[in-house]
Structure 1
Amino acid sequence: MLRLAQELLQREDTNLIGVAGRHRRPPVAGYEPTIPMTSLPLARPWLYESWRRLKWPLVESATGAVDICHSTAGIPAPSNAPHVVTLHDVAFLRRPDRLTRQGVRVLTNAVERSRSAAAVTCPSTVVYDDLVAAGFPADQVHVVPWGVDAVDVRADDISAVRDLYGLPSEFVLAVATLEPRKNLRRLIEAHQLLTDVPPLVVAGPPGWGDVADDLQALSQHVVFLGHVLGDHLQALYAAANVLAYPSEEEGFGLPVLEAMAAGTPVVTSRGTATEEVAGGAAELVDPFDVDSIGHGITSALNNAEQLRAEGLDRAQECTWARSASAMMAVYQAVKEHNA
């Protein structure tokens, strides 16, 4: 959402102000706000609890009067203005076992409070369908897909990343938090069954559910890089022969577009939001079938040039300017309805 906010800020038809809780430390490198910010007097988790229980403090206490309050994460913020809420993914409503109990409690509360919003946005039709199935009126929910920036990765950048992480000359890349729904166990099993394919490299921080320890015990032939920062990640995509992203379910699946923008062929899951994101420019597999995943990797390696060209075309379609225009249409409709 930071990149979408930056794109909205460049438009002449809106004035955007970011609101955050109190922070003792500056933002982590790579996550600095891209828009003007103001802060409320409480820090998380007390801010979220106060919003949930007391509906205080109001956003306007930090911003003054606003036309629309847009909550993009966590608990929707209290405001006197019409409310737009973004719900990125609500698969936990169907599969609460995929999250911690605390995570389910917090996110379920966010969904319930979003029912009173003037509009709810989500990044894919998969999430749209989940929200309508959960009882949201169809005309309340709006799909605002995410975008991706064009990238220009130099050969020197790729060489530097190879040296920094000790990467092989060729590799299959997976970019994912190490958590159950990312389906890394089946990906590793599928890769192990293949012969004459590049090694598997996994980039992503540990998640929950002891997945990281289990996966590293599963294979001694997989390279785990841990969290990779944005600049390094772009070069990592460009260095890879294929991105393998057979997630069981996603709200969107931004790595699919990021890899395509870097000119990297993509393997991803059929019947999920990532199929929608890929737009016909990826090798699609059954995420629950190890053989299908393995066949998809082999096929992508064999058809790399075609997938690379199709992926670049798809990435060029999915701009952040397009996302900003879709979001502005929601803002304008809400403002006109409440005029």
Structure 2
Amino acid sequence: MAYSLEQCWHRVPGGTATAAIELARVLPNLRRDIQLIGFAGRHKTAPQDAYQPPINVEQLFLSGAALYESSMRFGFPKVEQATGQVDLLHCTSIIPFASKSKMVATIHDLAFLKYPQFFSRRGNSVFRRSLKILLERADVLLCSSQSTLEDCAEYGFSRDRLEHVPLGVVAPMVMTSRDQVKTRYKLPDEYLLFVGTLEPRKNLSQLIDALEILGDSVPDLVVVGSTGWGDVPEAENLTSKTKMRVHFAGFVQPSDLGAIYAGAQVLCYPSLMEGFGLPILEAMSYGTPVVTSKGSSTQEVSGNAAVLVDPLNIESIAAGITQAISHKAELSQLGRKRASEMTWQATAQKTVEVYERVVQ
């Protein structure tokens, strides 16, 4: 089976790369008769250490934007030029690679349809064309959340082509001591935490406004994540005007991230829209209370184990943070239980069931 891993080489690989990597790590151990053949474009360098694929990756002769554009516009290069003949193509992101084989694609969200203002002009164009091709070409879409599945159905996909396949979370693993991490990233003794690619839909500006309301009654905010587009200058401007202390840690290696989660008072994740929201489960697995948005996939993912807030209302966000701090022990217990229910093994099992259905 051909398995796309081009996103591992993106400037900001993000959750789509993490999901593809973790699934690829589990699938071969689940079923010995499944042979994953990874493919990506031709790159001169390896991905960042955190996004190294766990399987061999064959190379096509194009990469990045050129590969995406050629695949969508001209239908080449076919993935089989790199992988050889396969029974199935799994596109692990919204990009529909060209192939002669049957196709399964993973869709995390359709945020570009609901919030086009939060995406670049090129991003909007690529995602919209990709979705149109998937509507014509994909046999089944694997949707990370029921919310995304409903969005795909509303777009025009028949429900027999849609499967809800939730993502999982890796078991807690603190590879670096808290003291080492605190020194390395200049972290305060106590802190609130935000984790995610820094882009407008993550709603960081509203979070900082909410923290301004709370003032000195709450710890500093630590922001972990690579720059997406559009939000970082705005956020830095806000921090220059506010009394709230915000620490931008940038990209953090996975070996350090566990200790940062474990040391946080609360994960603040008031995103406007997510396909899933992996940081929610990651924080819960370390017993860190979570504040996140209601009425979206983040509510679905968190179950009854998080404090839910209106992401458009800074008073609601502020009240949620206060509630999470005051109910830390209870939320920690609920969160650990919720995270234990969401495994990559379960994701892989549901994925295999779809593979079998499509190739029959």
Decide which of 201, 224, 227 is 1:203's aligned counterpart. Answer: 224
Q: Which residue of 1 aligns with 2:51?
A: 31
Asked if the contact 2:94–2:106 (Cα under 8 Å) also holds between the matched residues in 1, the reply is no
Asked if the contact 2:105–2:138 (Cα under 8 Å) also holds between the matched residues in 1, the reply is yes
Decide which of 191, 208, 217 is 1:188's aligned counterpart. Answer: 208
Q: Which residue of 1 aligns with 2:22?
A: 3
Asked if the contact 1:71–1:77 (Cα under 8 Å) also holds between the matched residues in 2, the reply is yes
Are 1:131 and 2:152 counterparts? Answer: yes
Distance 1:101 1:153 in 2: 40
Q: Which residue of 2 aligns with 1:253?
A: 277
1:219 Cα deviation after fit: 2.0
- 1:1-339 maps to which residues of 2 (within 5 A)? 1-11=20-30, 12-115=32-135, 116-153=137-174, 157-194=177-214, 195-209=216-230, 211-220=231-240, 221-336=245-360
Which letter does structure 2 place at the counterpart of 1:3? Answer: E
Distance 1:330 1:212 in 2: 39
Q: What do the CA deviations read for 1:228-281 (whole angstroms, capped 9, x no partner)? A: 221111111111011000111111100000101111111101111111110111
Q: What do the CA deviations read for 1:29-76 (whole angstroms, capped 9, x no partner)? A: 111111122111222222222212221121222222211111112531
Distance 1:245 1:13 in 2: 39
Distance 1:46 1:268 in 2: 37
Distance 2:313 2:95 in 1: 36
Distance 1:99 1:224 in 2: 22
- SS of alignment partner, residue 84 of structure 1: strand
Asked if the contact 1:87–1:111 (Cα under 8 Å) also holds between the matched residues in 2, the reply is no
Asked if the contact 1:9–1:35 (Cα under 8 Å) also holds between the matched residues in 2, the reply is no
Which letter does structure 1 place at the counterpart of 2:312? Answer: F
Distance 1:152 1:83 in 2: 35
State the TM-score, normalizing by the size of structure 1: 0.95
Gaps of 5+ in 1: none
Which letter does structure 1 place at the counterpart of 2:246? Answer: V
Asked if the contact 1:144–1:323 (Cα under 8 Å) also holds between the matched residues in 2, the reply is yes
State the TM-score, normalizing by the size of structure 2: 0.90
RMSD: 1.3
Q: Which residue of 1 aligns with 2:16?
A: none
- Number of residues of Structure 1 aligned to a counterpart in Structure 2: 334
- SS of alignment partner, residue 168 of structure 2: coil
Which letter does structure 2 place at the counterpart of 1:246? Answer: P
Distance 1:287 1:45 in 2: 33
1:96 Cα deviation after fit: 1.2
1:176 Cα deviation after fit: 2.2
Gaps of 5+ in 2: 1-19
